[in-house]
């Protein structure tokens, strides 16, 4: 979704446990971000759901014991515009039905803001999984998780939507190890919800270069960059260098260099392909990336010392050429 840039942050209080919100009963807060609050709730039939409340803390303030936020006259136009986009986003996402995309069940207005109701998924985020069990991050794990996740991303792109905030914490792993794209707080229709006052939310390290300076170039390839950065982060256990910093001075060690011999060349090349700074040199679709991730793999063998030296030099030369051409 979208948020006003660079204003003082303020703490918003969540709706209390036991609060009746339309036909839903709030059980507890699940997460609190700068743009929204997510609750665990039960519907009229007793089924658990997740409810996302539009409440950007740069524009609105809700004090303890209140239900409606306080919005100044100065911020009211931006708040209403963002609310309109959030509502339209809910309408678009409600039209998606895919096993690798969280299901939007309902969206409604209340308390002078809007709410998006989603299926409550049982499991944990990919971020949580890789942090607590590094041994799971094998080549097969990376390929299986991201190939299945890309099924969902293909569905999103088919509906002319972009996620724009893909990262391991926004990939939810069901208990049966099926990945689900969650938190479409950055998703928007490609040609909608655009104004000089507002900009897409994004996460440094996972956002593409065009997230920062060339918003007119945002496309499926922008989400592809984020997928590559997510694979890189899964292997490294840390966030990659942000793209805007890479544009100034690229200090990120290519996957082909950093993990040579530990993962197949084909996988490492695919990660580097996704993370090209020039959007034209990345996979142009989720399908193209998916095809690369499902190609037959030759297991890596430790190269001799001389081969390592030559390979390193070749990669450095190749990288310099790519930087020059870009």
Task: Quickly count: other Cβ atoms within 10 Å of residue 304's Cβ.
Answer: 9
The pLDDT tens digits of the residues spanning 82-114 come to: 888 788 778 878 888 999 999 999 999 999 999
Q: What is the maximal distance between C-alpha atoms in the chain? A: 69
Phi, psi of 93 (to 5 degrees): -70, -30
Token pair of 115 as six digits: 């709410």
CB-CB contact of 268 with 253 (8 Å): no
pLDDT bin (cut points 50, 70, 90) of residue 3 is very low
The pLDDT tens digits of the residues spanning 263-317 come to: 999 999 999 999 999 999 999 999 999 999 998 876 655 555 555 455 555 665 5
**Does residue 189 have a pLDDT over 60?**
no
Domains within the chain, CATH numbers bracketed = 20-119 (3.30.200.20), 124-310 (1.10.510.10)
CA distance 299 to 312: 19
pLDDT score of 173: 95
The pLDDT tens digits of the residues spanning 31-78 come to: 887 788 999 999 999 999 999 999 988 899 999 999 999 999 999 998
Token pair of 148 as six digits: 């299945």
CA distance 130 to 146: 14
Phi-psi map region of 145: left, alpha, beta (phi>0 left; psi -120 to 50 alpha): alpha
- pTM of the entire predicted model: 0.80
pLDDT score of 9: 52
**Does residue 138 have a pLDDT over 50?**
yes
């Amino acid at each position: 979704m979208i948020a006003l840039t660079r204003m003082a942050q303020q703490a918003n209080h969540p709706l209390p446990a036991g609060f009746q919100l339309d036909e839903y009963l709030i059980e507890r807060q699940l997460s609190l971000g700068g743009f929204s609050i997510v609750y665990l709730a039960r519907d009229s039939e007793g089924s658990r759901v997740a409810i996302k409340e539009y409440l950007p803390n740069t524009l609105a303030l809700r004090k303890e014991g209140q239900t409606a936020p306080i919005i100044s006259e100065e911020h009211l136009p931006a708040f209403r515009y963002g609310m309109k986009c959030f509502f339209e986003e809910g309408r678009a996402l409600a039209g998606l039905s895919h096993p690798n995309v969280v299901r939007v069940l309902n969206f409604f207005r209340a308390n002078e803001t809007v709410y998006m109701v989603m299926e409550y998924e049982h499991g944990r985020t990919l971020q949580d999984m890789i942090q607590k069990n590094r041994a799971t991050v094998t080549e097969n794990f990376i390929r299986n998780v991201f190939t299945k996740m890309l099924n969902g991303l293909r569905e999103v792109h088919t509906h002319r939507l972009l996620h724009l905030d893909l990262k391991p914490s926004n990939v939810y792993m069901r208990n049966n190890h099926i990945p689900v794209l969650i938190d479409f707080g950055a998703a928007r229709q490609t040609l909608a919800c655009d104004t000089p006052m507002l900009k897409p939310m994004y996460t440094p390290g996972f956002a593409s270069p065009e997230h920062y300076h060339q918003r007119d170039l945002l496309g499926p390839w922008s989400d592809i960059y984020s997928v590559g950065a997510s694979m890189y982060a899964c292997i490294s256990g840390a966030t990659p260098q942000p793209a805007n910093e890479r544009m100034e001075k690229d200090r990120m060690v290519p996957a082909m260099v950093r993990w040579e011999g530990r993962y197949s060349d084909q996988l490492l090349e695919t990660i580097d392909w996704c993370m090209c700074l020039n959007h034209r040199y990345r996979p142009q679709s989720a399908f193209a990336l998916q095809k690369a991730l499902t190609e037959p793999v030759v297991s890596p063998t430790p190269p001799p010392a001389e081969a390592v030296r030559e390979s390193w030099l070749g990669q450095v030369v190749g990288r310099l050429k790519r930087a020059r051409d870009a």
